[in-house]
Amino acid sequence: MTQENADAIEIESIRKIDSDRSAIAVEFFGETAVFVLADEDVVFVLVKGDERRVHLHDGAILSSVMNGGRLLTGGDDGRIVAVDEAGATECIFTDHKARWIDRLAAGRGGSLAWSVGKEVYCRTVGGSEKIVQVPSSGGGLAFAPDESLLAIAHYNGVTLCEPQSDHRLSALSWKGSHLEVTFSPDGQVLVTAMREPTLHAWQLADKKDVPMPGYPARVRSLDWTASGRFLTTSGSDRLTLLTFQTQDNPLARMPLLLAPYRRLVAAVACHPTKEIAAVGYEDGLVLLVRIPDGSEIMVKAPDESTIAAMRWNADGSRLGIASDSGQCRVISIK
């Protein structure tokens, strides 16, 4: 079977959801999509049945992540609230100063981290908890694939800590404000997106690093392809795919550019098993792009509402699309 045949898909249905409010993220319980709204609530979209709204916060929702079979959300009310597939809720953390919980991260094994100002909390599956002090307000958080490291992006670099031990922290330094962070699927490379229109990458084995400028706008969305070969990014007028798997210099390779358009890419999401990327643009257009040959399928027409976030469910049979206007979609794939 050729790679093109292996990555073939067919659109089965498209379901439209009008949440009446801006959506900041989408998560999944199996085939059930959950749209995280900017204000107070989440909306469950069942495969068969109506939408169901659940109230979680007294104020704005700033962050979300799936953890241990529950959806966790952080709010400007200083709380982290967990909700399960049935809609049952539980507050699992409250900041005594009611500071914003604007960053959440979960490891594959269930570890959890969140930032509160210059403090980052890390809770392991066993229940142990540590607080890491960082030089400035925490930016992006990410666990290494094996959860041996937690990366905390902040001003002038990244702090690395070991969640399971009390070993001394290490730092990766580069001037500027680092706002997003991600590990490569093999755990060998760490990449940050900065406030400036640039990325920065480190090879963790030897701390070799390289800046990656050249974007027209700040990169707000990052995701790795199913094979782990490419990091897909927003911030340009086309899908930008970076590769780090070269023997001579893993951090320096010309990017692959696909799906050019008249507006900037706002969000990216890679299929979990196929070399396919969902690409959402600033005017609401969403394309499915097959990476081996660059072929495109339009799954959402432009409507002048920026795509805020997208996510596939675990088996790649559903794609959730969240927009700034609340005009959201669930795409069923076969």
User: Mean per-residue pLDDT for 12-18?
Assistant: 92
In tens, the pLDDT along 39-62 reads 999 999 998 878 999 999 999 999
The model's confidence at residue 330, banded by pLDDT at 50, 70 and 90, is: very high
Domains of the chain, with CATH numbers?
A: 19-101 (2.40.10), 105-214 (2.130.10.10), 221-334 (2.130.10.10)
Residue 306 has, within 13 A of its CA and on its CB side, a CA count of 15
pLDDT > 80? residue 87: yes
Which pLDDT does position 5 carry in this prediction?
60
Residue 3 has a pLDDT of 58
- Please say if the pLDDT value at position 214 is more than 90: no
Q: Kindly tell me if the per-residue pLDDT of 1 is higher than 70.
A: no
pTM here is 0.93
pLDDT band of residue 7 (cuts 50, 70, 90) is: confident
**pLDDT on residue 20:** 82
Using the predicted structure, report yes or no on whether residue 191 has a pLDDT greater than 90: yes
pLDDT-derived band at 249 (thresholds 50, 70, 90) equals low
The reported pLDDT for the residue numbered 138 is 81
What mean pLDDT value characterizes the chain? 92
The tens digit of pLDDT for each residue in 95-151 reads 999 999 999 999 999 999 999 999 999 998 877 889 999 999 888 999 999 999 999
Would the pLDDT of 222 be above 70? yes
DSSP per-residue string spanning 196-237: SS-EEEEETTTTEEEEE---SS----EEE-TTSSEEEE-SSS
pLDDT tier, 248 (very low <50, low <70, confident <90, very high otherwise): low
Share of the chain above pLDDT 90, in %: 80
Q: Average pLDDT for residues 149-154, to the nearest whole number?
A: 96
